Amino acid sequence: MPKVKTRIDPNDAPLTPEGIVDDAVFQRLADHLNHAVLVSRKFKPLYVNEAFAELFGYANAEEILTLDCIDTLMPESSMQTLRGYHDARFRGDEAPREYIIQGRRKDGSLIWLQNRPQLMEWIGGPAVCTTMTDITRQMEAEAALKASEETYRRFFEHSPEGIFRTSPDAKLLEANPALAEMTGFGSPEELKAAVNEFGQEFYVDHNVRRELVKKLETDGQIKDHHVQWRRRDGSVIWVSLSSTLVRDSATGSVFFEGTAIDVTDRHNAAQSLLFAKDQAEMASRAKSEFLAHMSHELRTPLNCVIGFSQILMEEMFGPLGGDNYRGYAKDINIAGNHLLSLISDILDISKIEAGELELTDERVDVGGMMVSCMKMMRERADAGGIIISIEFAHDLPDVLADELRVKQIILNLLSNAIKFTPARGRVTAGASIADDGGVVLRVSDTGVGIPPDEIERVLSPFEQVRDHHMLSHEGTGLGLFLSKALAEMHGGRLVLKSDQGEGTEVAVYLPPERTLISERS
């Protein structure tokens, strides 16, 4: 039986008879190894075990032994590595005991191999016995980790947000360029070299940092916490901090890492807005107080004007001596009542804005109230040659509301509809039950309408449609705004639908909780 000589390292002493092993014993041992074993001479395979065949995707060892060269099993770069190390090993030069190369499986896929070669005597002369271990998963994991680390490093270096890592005792462990720039340093290295204690040198209020550390230790994180930091030049900035407590599972050490965003401009803008809001609210309160005071002051003399003009109109103390005087007295009375209505509206608005207008809820017959409003406006409609009508469901329920204020809403809407509807036009008022059980009050007309881009504006106080055809219409633009505000005070809403030349419909929705069960039989 032929003999096989083997030695562990090419740098060992020359082969001796003690190193000779029966080749049958070697092959029997190698066949049962889990590691792939290849014996080759001049890169021609002389022996492989089944683990080697399986590793490279072949059906059996015999299939590989038919190959003239193992270059089929390696990409060219790996074959160059093999040739270089094998030549050195046969020359007796220094060569690595193990190294990593790639192998090519039968299906063409590449695998990473841990290669451990050694010289041995085989039948016919020296050969190389190589043990190979598949480390593909390990290499892929290391590549993924490296890619992840590179991605993190790029993010760390180029992030516009300051990124830091500190120890619990306020030592700055890591900082990115954005943090260095934010705090007035030229580089992270300069920052770390200059700062001995992060909390002591950065935080304007040291108590704030102690509170943040306590919160981090308790909750594990903080988010968007605004603090003041002091820059290198002594200037103060506002910073939004987010940080997390991290515990290293390997070492058990604890540190804080997080981000810092300079929000100084945002903070200053917010403070400016807050100041402007306070100023606006003060101005609004002053305006409301002024309007309320002036309204009360104006109503007393105005009531006298209206009262005396009424006396003159009715000639209660004798004839005036001419029709012109009676006409003038009527004009004074009409203008006085108009002015009184305007003052009342202004007083109502000032009360609403000051939160002083209170509703007096009572049971309201919606249908009866609508009829009453139509009667009050009929004379004005007839004078303008306008047809007015009313329609509402026969089973319309009562509502719990302030009747005076709801009537004020309807009269304002009817007044607007009549004002902006030409002769032979139509104004319709109605009421119905909404799908949710609430009550809807509607006033529609066939008037001039409102352009869609003007609707939002006309719902503001003192605003009317900007159309030269309407400039001759008197009015202050308070009606819609006041009606909307009164509807919202009832928990409802006002919806206006219109288009220029197509007429207008205004709907006031009262919520279902204001609907009452009818007491009528």
Topology alike, domains 3-139 and 159-262: yes
Structure tokens at 113: 């191999």
When pLDDT is cut at 50, 70 and 90, the band that residue 53 belongs to is: very high
Residues, the chain, total? Answer: 521
**Mean pLDDT to the nearest integer, 392-413:** 91
* pTM of the full structure: 0.46
Determine which of 7-21, 128-142, 252-266, 395-409 has the lowest per-residue pLDDT on average. 7-21
When pLDDT is cut at 50, 70 and 90, the band that residue 518 belongs to is: low
- Asked whether the beta carbons of 483 and 412 are under 8 A apart, the reply is yes
When pLDDT is cut at 50, 70 and 90, the band that residue 248 belongs to is: confident
Q: What is the pLDDT of residue 19?
A: 38
- Burial category of 468 from C-beta neighbours within 10 Å (exposed 0-12, middle 13-18, buried 19 and up): exposed
Nearest to 370 by CA among 446, 440, 449: 440
Buried residues in 494-512 as b, exposed as e (16+ CB within 10 A): bebebeeeebbbbbbbbbe
Contacts of 480 (CB under 8 A, 6+ apart): 412, 416, 458, 459, 494, 496, 506
CATH topology of domain 159-262: Beta-Lactamase (3.30.450)
Q: Which amino acid does the sequence have at 413?
A: L
Q: What is the pLDDT of residue 417?
A: 92
> What is the per-residue pLDDT across 16-27, written as a single tens digit (0 to 9) for each?
333 344 566 677
How do the domains of the chain map onto residue ranges? Answer: 3-139, 159-262, 272-353, 362-514
User: Does CATH place domain 3-139 in 3.30.450.20?
Assistant: yes
When pLDDT is cut at 50, 70 and 90, the band that residue 470 belongs to is: very low
> What is the per-residue pLDDT across 255-295, written as a single tens digit (0 to 9) for each?
888 899 999 998 888 888 888 888 888 877 777 677 666 66
Superfamily assignment of 362-514 in CATH? Histidine kinase-like ATPase, C-terminal domain (3.30.565.10)
Q: What is the pLDDT of residue 364?
A: 94
User: Does CATH place domain 272-353 in 1.10.287?
Assistant: yes
Q: What is the pLDDT of residue 423?
A: 92
Q: What is the pLDDT of residue 7?
A: 36
Structure tokens at 273: 């807005």
